[in-house]
Chains A and B, each alone.
Chain A
Amino acid sequence: MTNSNALRITLGLLALMTLGGCATTPVQPWERGRLARWDMRWDPDPLQASMADHTHFSKEGSNGHIGAAGGGCGCN
């Protein structure tokens, strides 16, 4: 085996090992307790989130970006 072939094989094996690092063990259905926690939610407080959104689209004139109807006047 030439040096260049040995180098290729070593690099190939290293690449495979790197790919192996991408393999994940999926979270099983019964392991989702922590993910289901209230403080793991994207918006833990829906009321506060909707108020923040309202302020945002009123300031930006971008009403509708979260699915609400209206013209961006901030009055609805």
Chain B
Amino acid sequence: MHRSLIVAALLACASAAFAATHLIAIGTPAPSFDLPVFGAKPGHHIGLADLRGKVVLLDFWASWCGPCRQSFPLYEKLRAEFPVRDFTLLAINLDEMADGPTAFLEEHPVHYTSLADPAGEVARQFGLIGMPSSFVIDRDGVVRARHTGFKPQDVDALRNEILELIGTDANDE
């Protein structure tokens, strides 16, 4: 009796531990989503399916995330390095309130679009384990690279990953 109780208790603890989210695996299709564009008129949504055929860098950010202040200007430069027909940088904001990101975007203006996911539903689907997180998604919607956190040198790795996908896919055509 006592032994079975102890086993049951351990199982309960283990199940709680495994309830944590798991980062989406490389090589799996990115979860589809359709989210409102932050700061746009109601009803203006963008989904991952709309970007099929392009390499996508998907960046999850929040106004309270320190490294995001570093990443924004560097991502803005990176975005400009690739042709629009091949590449899109799409950001997903995870703030619960809209005032934080509004001020953030005024302070760090960028030309790429941010979508709003205040409930974190898409973040949960991607299994984020840290902030910020970014994913490189190929033209077929498959996750090809993932980065958790941000350091300026990450941009070099991202550039190579994007170049490789753009180049490879261009050769296939």
Chain A interface residues toward B at CB < 8 A: 8, 12, 15-16, 19-20, 22-26, 28-33, 36-37
Contact = CB atoms under 8 A, between A and B. Distances in A.
A11 to B, nearest CB: 9
Interface of B: 1, 5, 8-9, 12-13, 15-16, 19-21, 60, 62-65, 94-97, 100, 120, 123-124, 128-131, 133
B9 A25 contact: no
B64 to A, nearest CB: 4
A16 B8 contact: yes
Given A20-B12, A23-B12, A30 B64 contact: no
A29 B124 contact: no
A33 B64 contact: yes
Contacts of A8: 1
A33 to B, nearest CB: 5
B64 A37 contact: yes
Given A8-B1, A28-B128, A33 B9 contact: no
